[in-house]
Amino acid sequence: MNLFETIHARQSVRAYLPREIEQDALRRIFDAINQAPSAGNLQAYRVWVVRDSATKQKLAKAALGQDFMAGAPVVLVFCAEPARAGRYGARGAELYCVQDATVAVAYAQLAATALGLATCWIGAFNETEVARILELPTGLRPIAMLPIGYGAETPPRTPRRPLSEMIVERA
């Protein structure tokens, strides 16, 4: 799959096979994450890797009961690390670290897709609750969770807005 095929192949999958992810596949996903751009190359985020079933279930509850998450063999939790972007003041602490972590999620999704794995971005969750469950160090802010596994469903494709509505050519 080339990049454009991978981009088109990615879709949110919310059911996973009870099959482990090979360690090498995970390593390649982590490496892809590490190649993502970041403000000032500070990489102001950290990624928690959750495999433990009880913890995944707690995270799913914190994600407003999105229980399908717990069916994935691995859940990555992307946490913005404002202190690492402190050099950029409020913009670093409030925006850049969140953007860094967000780009990393996108890289992880595409890498997983290229490896034949399925993911679903989870953004709806109680941040305080997730931080408590993972015992995150003070200041770290969970911004997205990403269950990864072999897909057990092929959902219909979601529609997209027409480009003409989104892309603004300024004369």
Ligand X SMILES: Cc1cc2nc3c(=O)[nH]c(=O)nc-3n(C[C@H](O)[C@H](O)[C@H](O)COP(=O)(O)O)c2cc1C
Residues that bind ligand X (CB under 6 A): 11-12, 14, 66, 120-124, 158
Min dist CB 161 to ligand X, Å, is: 11
Strands of the sheet containing 118-119, edge to edge, are 45-50, 74-80, 141-149, 118-119
Closest distance to ligand X from the beta carbon of 160 (Å): 8
CB of 87: closest distance to ligand X in angstroms?
26
Q: Report the candidate in 85, 78, 129 with the shortest Cα–Cα distance to residue 104.
A: 78
Question: Is the four-CA dihedral 82, 88, 94, 100 of positive or negative sign?
Answer: negative
**CB of 93 or CB of 118, closer to ligand X:** 118
DSSP state of 39: G
Nearer to ligand X, 43 or 66 (CB): 66
Which lies closer to ligand X via its Cβ, residue 161 or residue 170? 161
Residue 23 CB, nearest approach to ligand X (Å): 26
Long-range contacts of 124-129 (CB under 8 A, 24+ apart): 124/63, 124/64, 124/66, 125/59, 125/62, 125/63, 125/64, 125/66, 126/62, 126/63, 126/64, 129/61, 129/62
**Which of 115/120 has CB closer to ligand X?**
120
Q: Which residue is nearest to ligand X (CB)?
A: 123
Q: Which residue's CB is nearer to ligand X, number 21 or number 118?
A: 118
Q: Is 127 in contact with 98 (CB distance < 8 Å)? A: no
User: Can you tell me the distance from the alpha carbon of 31 to that of 108, in angstroms, rounded to the nearest whole number?
Assistant: 9
Question: Residue 170 CB, nearest distance to ligand X (Å)?
Answer: 26
